[in-house]
Amino acid sequence: MPRVQDSGGGYALPALRFVLLEWYQQQGRDLPWRHTRDPYAIWVSEIMLQQTQVATVIPYYQRWLTTFPAIADLAAADLEAVLKQWQGLGYYARARHLHQAAQQIMANHGGQFPCTYETVVALPGIGRSTAGAILSAAFNQPQPILDGNVKRVLSRLYGLTVPPKQAEAQLWQWSTQLLCRQSPRDFNQALMDLGSTICTPRQPLCHACPWQGHCWAHRHQLTHEIPRKMSRSPLPHKKIGVAVIWNTAGEILIDRRPPTGLLGGLWEFPGGKIEPNETVQQCIQREIREELGIEISVGEHLIDIDHAYTHFRVTLHVYYCQHVSGTPQPLACEAIRWVTPEELDQFPFPKANIAIIQAIHERGRPPA
């Protein structure tokens, strides 16, 4: 069982709420989505902020609302246009879920973002904490939140001695108890700001924290150990052979991934995992034969790219190739297309592939 203190480490809940809200009025961040009560704009910001830093999100958020200013605009857009706007933010399922949810809102809710917890949490890509954040920010509803920042704050405040993943129910209980029901919008925003700017993962600014005197971890000098970490295995490392396939017209073959799963709906340069006792060149020829039904010759090395995802990392070994024979077929993808190097920038690609495109622009077409 996690160690718990009485409410707020021995302090009354009203005092905790008061000092946090007072701190927020003076120190809260000026963020663009805090200048609106439009649930659509707030929803977009909350989805973008999952797994992504505020500074990265702001320009994407502003461009998104310029391109898709209302739910109807997002719902009517082509998925490829949606993914292109998202390109570079990563975790592309978030963009697909936004698109799907917008279409559901148009079909089932008359184009109006719903205002009940049960309806909001039923939308694609919205979990309990995100629903709470949207409803409190847009409608000032007293809904608790529990994102990563809030978990860290509560773990330290109450002295949680197990990893947060092992105490989700307890953390939700604390968040619900702490919530200021008179000012839930400001309280939740304050809680997120506290975690983002003061109660940071490393070297928290305890001297500037409104809850310094209430915090169990600070009192026991254990902020560097709380939250407790889960033991982690090393990330699997996949080595991938990638083909930039040219035809005699100076075009490059790209394919679109299936709409679901990792990087679903994005375009990429074809290739696959290098098998044991297989050279990169052999891998590329085999993968292209299996995935596209064509024969190619593998030419000069273009670039190697290391990229980390949440649960694994990859090294892409990229080679220029020439189309030799056969008509490309989408045997293991959703679509294929021959495009000029200049047209590559029009398509949504995974982040790792952007470096390939830059290398193509720098190197140019291989000699005939």
- Tally Cβ neighbours within 10 Å of residue 179: 21
**Separation CA 90–CA 169 (nearest Å):** 29
Residues 195 and 150 sit within 8 Å (Cβ to Cβ): yes
| Residue among 268, 286, 295, 230 nearest 355 (CA) | 268
Q: What is the 3-state secondary structure (H, E, C) of 52-113?
A: CCHHHHHHHHHHHHHHCCCHHHHHHCCHHHHHHHHCCCCCCHHHHHHHHHHHHHHHHCCCCC
| Residue among 351, 356, 346, 347 nearest 267 (CA) | 347
**Separation CA 353–CA 356 (nearest Å):** 5
Residues 24 and 100 sit within 8 Å (Cβ to Cβ): no
* Residue 24 CB burial class (10 angstroms; 0-12, 13-18, ≥19): buried
Q: Distances in Å between the alpha carbon of 155 and those of 152, 233, 306, 339?
A: 5, 23, 34, 52
Residue type, 54: V
Q: Is 46 a catalytic residue?
A: yes
Catalytic one of 46, 268, 287, 291: 46
DSSP per-residue string spanning 2-40: ---PSTTTTS-HHHHHHHHHHHHHHH----GGGG---HH
Helix, strand or coil, per DSSP, at residue 242? strand
**Separation CA 334–CA 256 (nearest Å):** 5
- Tally Cβ neighbours within 10 Å of residue 350: 21
Q: Distances in Å between the alpha carbon of 266 and those of 240, 338, 364?
A: 17, 15, 23
The first and second tokens of residue 139, run together, are 């409608």
Residues involved in catalysis: 46
